[in-house]
Structure 1
Amino acid sequence: MMRAAAWWDGTLRTDLSVAQVAEALRSPDAQVWIDLTDPTAEALGELTETLYLHPLVVEDIVERNQRAKVEVSEHYAHLVMFAFRLDGELTESEIDFVLGDRFLLTSHLAEWDPDRSHELRGGLGPILSRGADLLLWALVDDLVDSYFPLFDQIDEEIDRLEDLIVARPNSGTIERIFDLKRQLMTIRRATSPQREIFNQLTNRELPFVKAPHILYFRDVYDHLIRLTDELDSFRDRLTGALDAYLSAVNNNLSEIMKRLTAVTVVVAGVGALAGIFGMSEAGAAFLGAEAPGFWLVTLAIVGASAAAAFFLRRIRWL
């Protein structure tokens, strides 16, 4: 689905056709935004001549298998960024931005809605009238800001895991730790190149961003640096949580071995006495029905067991 709008002759015009987009771009004062939702190669083909899109750029937009990047050509810069959603599992959605001198093309799946940008709540006209590059800033600023609630979710999940490890770790704990580590790696693969993208923007390496607007992109760059720092913090905390989990498991195993050893000590004493008096002729005579030895041995067994149990209790092995 395509929708297009233009700030043209001092007026915001919406629902433009491809022909009207081409006409607007021939006007030196027009600023155009074309938004595509899950476009096909055929739909993009209609814009190829108008926007001078290279076939490889069209292929990248349609296939949606790119990493975060920025590529600059004579007529435009192609930026690839990602939106994320954490709903049990982490899902990522590629978003393509093609910024020209007086136009911005956005391509995305339905999961991302550019109209939700807080900068556009006051209307598209005030932003688009100042340039397509400022509209790009409004969209990517909102996109990067959407990472913060996601990071809050991850932070809360790590807190919950840390509390669980202290209270009662189980086999599901380590599975969740590794799930979170994989999710953080996915986010890092996207955010690290995005930081480089905005480093280039703030260093005036893109000819389609006006000098007065570079400061806006520097703010996005600062947000990405902060997000990267938080990712490093999450990684360190998960590493610490994993170490704490393994330590807790080892401690539990040590406690089990101590208790088994204690039981062995008690049983060994009983077995030794029973073996001595039950496996020899002298012992059999001593334990005969007419002899008092049976009760003496029984008392010795009970006494030895009680003494061993008392000692092990004192040293907290039982």
Structure 2
Amino acid sequence: MITLYRWNSSANAGQWTNSPDLPDRCGIPEGEIWWIDLESPTPEEDARILEHVLALHPLTVEDITKPRREPGDGLHFPKVEEFADYLFVIVNPLGEPQAPDEPLSEITAGGTQLSAVLNRHLLVTHHYRPLASVKRVREFLDRHAQQAQRGPDYLFHLILDGMVDDYAPEIDRLVERLDEIETELFDQPSAHVLSELIRLKRRLVMFRKTLILEREVLARLIRGEFELVDDREMAYYRNVYDHLVRYAELTEGAREMVSDLMQTHLAAVSNKLNGIMKAMAMVSTVILPMSLVSGIYGMNFKHMPELEWEWGYPMALGMMAALAVGFVGLFYWKKWL
């Protein structure tokens, strides 16, 4: 779906168009700012906007459409590139957030790809899944249409800011789950807990990798390296960069916590196994002397004085009981029980 937002400075108003009638080559009228959003576009819509309307470089088109050409793991990692007449940025947002009561999904960080192309008067965003950050910017423009006059770099900052803030609740949920697992480890360590820890660690590693790469993208955007990012917008991009650094640090802390919990799990399992082996050794120690007595009196020798004795059988049972009680008492005295 193609959505066009047009800001007209002379009319001091903006309007949305769901099926924009764009020319073959995008000629934006003087005094207008355009935002073209492509959400889950068809191949025909991709070709129309990226190749005919914008006439982007073939390498840019290839990077933008990579998720369609390579389903599954075909996402491009975050990057920023400057061309002669436009700036090209790729980031990996989370997509639509989960409800608070839903279990943690298997979708890793960077579950989708957001590609952006911007120049002085135009912002183009491209994504194959709905994005909460894009939706919020649309709602923001409905309430504050005049903010569009600040240019595509400001609109793109709003999308980046929302995208980065979407990491916060997901990271919080991961940390809360790790706290719950920590309690479970001391109560009942199990293979299921270890499997979940491995899954969470894999997810946090992807989080960390994505955040580090996006941090590098923001670092380039705030250095004044690109003319298409206005100086007055640098402060806003720096604010997004600060948030990104903080979330990257939280992710690193959570990743270390997962590693510690995995070590704790192994220690708890080992300690539990030691307890089992200790109990089995004690049982064996108690039974061993009883087996010795029963073995001695189970021998088939003809001349054994106790065989003909009236109290021989009770004596043997008494000896075995006395040995068992004696060893159990020894274990208690040694505080092994």
Bucket of the pairwise TM-score, normalised by the shorter protein: over 0.9
| 1:38 maps to amino acid | S
Q: What RMSD in Å do the two structures reach over aligned CA positions? A: 2.1
TM-score under structure 1 normalisation?
Answer: 0.92
Query: Who is 2:246 aligned against?
Result: 226
**Over residues 297-316 of structure 1, what are the superposed CA-to-partner deviations in whole Å (9 max), with x where a residue is unaligned?**
22111100111122223334
SS in 2 for 1:278: coil
Give the conservation status (yes or no) of the 8 Å contact 2:205–2:255. Answer: no
User: Which amino acid counterpart does residue 69 of structure 1 have in structure 2?
Assistant: K
Matches within 5 A, 1:1-318: 1-8=1-8, 9=10, 10-15=12-17, 16-19=20-23, 22-23=26-27, 25=28, 27-47=29-49, 48-64=51-67, 65-84=75-94, 85=97, 87-91=103-107, 92-113=111-132, 114-117=134-137, 120=140, 123=143, 125-279=145-299, 281=301, 284-288=304-308, 290-318=309-337
Residue 169 of structure 1 aligns with an amino acid whose one-letter code is P
Q: How many Å apart are 1:285 and its aligned residue? A: 3.5
Q: Is the 8 A contact 1:93 1:111 kept in 2?
A: no
Asked if the contact 2:39/2:130 (under 8 Å) is kept, the reply is no
SS of residue in 1 equivalent to 2:150: coil
CA shift, 1:119, in A, is 7.5
What letter corresponds to residue 13 of structure 2 in structure 1?
T
Residue 292 of structure 1, CA deviation: 2.7
SS at match of 1:5: strand
Cα distance in 2 for partners of 1:178, 1:93 equals 22
- My pick for the range that moved more, 55-64 or 30-39, is 55-64
Task: Provide the rounded CA distance (Å) in 2 between the counterparts of 1:125 and 1:285.
Answer: 111
1:199 CA drift (Å) = 0.3
State whether residues 259 and 317 of structure 1, in contact with CA within 8 Å, keep that contact through their aligned partners in structure 2. Answer: no
Query: CA shift at 1:109, angstroms?
Result: 2.4
Residue deviations 1:105-142 (CA, integer Å, cap 9, x gap): 00112431412249816635222111111000011101
Q: Report which of the two has the higher share of strand.
A: 1
Any unmatched runs of 5+ in structure 1?
none
Contact 1:99–1:105, Cα closer than 8 Å, also in 2: yes
Moved more, 5-14 or 140-149: 5-14
- Distance across 1 between alignment mates of 2:162 and 2:39: 18
Q: CA deviation at 1:171?
A: 1.2
State whether residues 40 and 62 of structure 1, in contact with CA within 8 Å, keep that contact through their aligned partners in structure 2. no
Distance change >3 Å, CA 267–CA 283, structure 1 → 2: farther
Taking structure 1 as reference, are residues 99 and 281 closer, same or farther at Cα in structure 2, changes over 3 Å only?
same
Change (3 A) 1:125 1:79: same
Query: Aligned AA for 1:296?
Result: M
Q: CA deviation at 1:279?
A: 1.5
Find the aligned partners of 2:22 and 2:155 in 1 and give their Cα distance: 20
Q: Give the share of equivalent positions with the same residue, in percent.
A: 25
Question: Does the C-alpha gap of structure 1 residues 247 and 150 become closer, same or farther in structure 2, counting only changes over 3 Å?
Answer: same
SS at match of 2:41: coil
- Taking the aligned partners of 2:142 and 2:30, their CA distance within structure 1 comes to 25
Cα distance in 1 for residues equivalent to 2:54 and 2:120? 10
State the 1:98 CA deviation.
1.0
Could you tell which deviates more after superposition, 246-255 or 27-36? Answer: 27-36
